[in-house]
Amino acid sequence: MAEQTRTRRRRYWVLAIVLIGSAYVARTSPGAADRNGRPPMAERVVAALAAPLERPAYRLADGLRAVAVSVLWPRALESDIGECERRIGEQNRLSAALAAAVGASEAPQGFETDVALLSGLLAASTPAAVIGRDPTGRRDLLLLGAGATAGVTRGMSVVNGADIVGTVDRVNRSTSVAYVTTDRQFRAAARCVRSQDFLGTARGDGRGGLTLDEIPLGANLREGDVVVTGPDLNGPAPGLRLGTVGVVALERPVEKTPAGPDARASVKLALTVDPVADVGELREVRIVPGPRGR
Amino acid sequence: MTAMAVGAALAQPAVCQCLSVAGAFPDIATVAIMVGGLLLGPSEGLALGFLVGAIHVTQCGHLGLGGLLVSRAAVGLLAGLTTQRVFMEIPLVQPVAAAVGVLVCDIILFAFSPDPGLTPWLWRALGKAVVSGLVSPLFFWAAFKVAAWETGERYRFTGFR
C-alpha cells in the first residue's frame, strides 16, 4: 500500500515538473529570443552540454552514410564525385568568364557596388560547419557548429558564396540554428537584379520554394531573372542571391486589382536556386552580419 | 536507458542530415523514448521524453517548443502506460510499436503546430514511422542486453513488472 502511494506521488511529481517545464520553455523562450536572441538559462545549459557531442555524432552519421553508400551503391558514389567535380569546373569557368567580361567592359555602377558589398560581407563572415537538420523533420532548419563564442548573433545571414542560405534564429554557446530560405519563417526584402526593381518580401513556403506576393504593379520581372535580397534594416544583408524566377503566375487577374497608387498585384513565384536548393549537401557555410551589424 | 535516449537525441539532427532516404529518416530519439517507456514505466517514460524534448528544443528555432516537449513526454508516458499490453519479446511487435509511437508523436506535434499541407505531412510522417520501425529492433536488442546485464543475466528478460 505504502509502495503504491509512493509510486503515485512520484508520478504526480514527474508530471508536475514536465508540465511546468513545458510551460516555462514555451512561454519564456520566444520572449527571450525577441529581446536579445539568447535562449533562457535552462536551454543554454542543455545546449552547452549537448554541443560537444553533437559534432562527433554528425561525423559518425556522415561516416556511416559514406560507408553505406560506398558498399551499397558504389556507382552512386562515383557519380556524386563526378557531379561535384563538374560543378566546381562549371563555377570556375563562370567566374573566369565573368571576370573577363567585367575587365573588358565598363561595368555598371550597381554591379560594382554589389561586388564591393559582397566582398566586405564575406571578409567579415564567420565560417560554420553544418552539423545537422531539424530533428523533427518538419521545418527547414540547419544546426550550425558556431555560436555565441564565435560572435554569432540572432538575425545574421547564413551564406554559401554569394547565395543566402538562411537566417540565424537561435544562438547557443557553440552552436546555432538557422532558418533556411525555404522555411515558412524566412522573410527577406527582394530585388530584381536585371531591372533593379524592388519586389516586396520573399517568404519561404515550407515546400522547398520561395514565394513573392504583393509585388508592386509595374515591377519589371520575368522568368529567369535573378532575385537578390534588398536593403532592409531588420532583414538579411542586401545583395545576396535568393534565387532565379522559375514560374510567374498571377494569383488573381490584374484587371480585378483596385486602381490607384496603392494597387498591387499578387504574383506567385517559384524560385529555383541551384547551389542552395540542395541544402542536404551543404557541409560548410559562412555567417555574415546584417545591415545593423547583427 | 537514459544514456541511450540522450545519445539518440544528440545524434538526431545528424541522422536527419545524413541518413535520410527520399525525405524519410529514422526518428531514433522517439524510438529510444518508446523503448525506455515500454521497459521502465509511465513516469520514467515521461521524464525520458521530457529530457529528449529539452535537448530537441536547443536544436530547433524559437517556434513550437511547447509542442515539441509535450509530444515527446506524451509518447514516453503512453509507452509506459501500455507496457503490460505490448509483448515486446515478439520480434514483429517491436517495429510496429515503434512505428505507432513515432506516428503518435508526429500527430501530437501536428496538433500543436499544423503544417499548411496535410497530405505532404502525412506521407512524410508515414515514411518516418516506417523507417523508424525498421531500425527499432536494434534499440530493443540493446535495451534487452542492458537489462540482462543489470540483472546479472540470471533471468531471461521479461520486463520489470
Listed by number, the residues of chain A in 117-176 with a beta carbon closer than 8 Å to a beta carbon of chain B are 130-139, 141, 143, 169-170, 172, 175
Helix (H, G, I), strand (E, B) or coil at A246: strand
The domains found in chain B, sorted by start residue, are 2-150 (1.10.1760)
pLDDT tens per residue across span B107-117: 998 888 887 77
Tell me A137's DSSP state.
S
Contact A214, A187 (CB under 8 A): no
* ipTM here: 0.77
pLDDT tens per residue across span A142-197: 889 888 888 888 888 888 877 888 888 888 888 888 988 888 888 888 888 877 77
Residues 6+ apart with CB under 8 A from A226: A192, A193, A194, A241, A243, A244
Partner A contacted by B17 (CB < 8 A): yes
pLDDT tens per residue across span A9-55: 877 787 888 788 777 777 777 766 666 667 777 777 888 888 788 88
Out of A61, A172, A184, name the one closest to residue B58 (CB): A172
Partner B contacted by A102 (CB < 8 A): no
pTM greater than 0.80:
no
- The pLDDT value recorded for residue A211 is 79
pLDDT for A77 beyond 80: no
Interface test mutation site (partner B, options A3, A18, A41, max chain B beta carbons within 10 A): A18
The closest of A225, A169, A234 to A201, measured between CA atoms, is A234
Contact B12, B54 (CB under 8 A): no
Distance CA A153, CA A39 (A): 11
Exposure of B26 by Cβ count < 10 A (0-12 exposed, 13-18 middle, 19+ buried)? buried
For domain A107-294, the CATH architecture is: Beta Barrel (2.40)
Amino acid identity for residue B112 in this structure: F
Helix H or strand E encompassing A202: strand A198-204
| HEC profile of B39-82 | HHCHHHHHHHHHHHHHHHHHCCCCCCHHHHHHHHHHHHHHHHHC
pLDDT tens per residue across span A238-277: 888 888 777 666 554 444 445 555 555 555 454 554 445 5
The grid coordinates of residue B147 equal 537489462
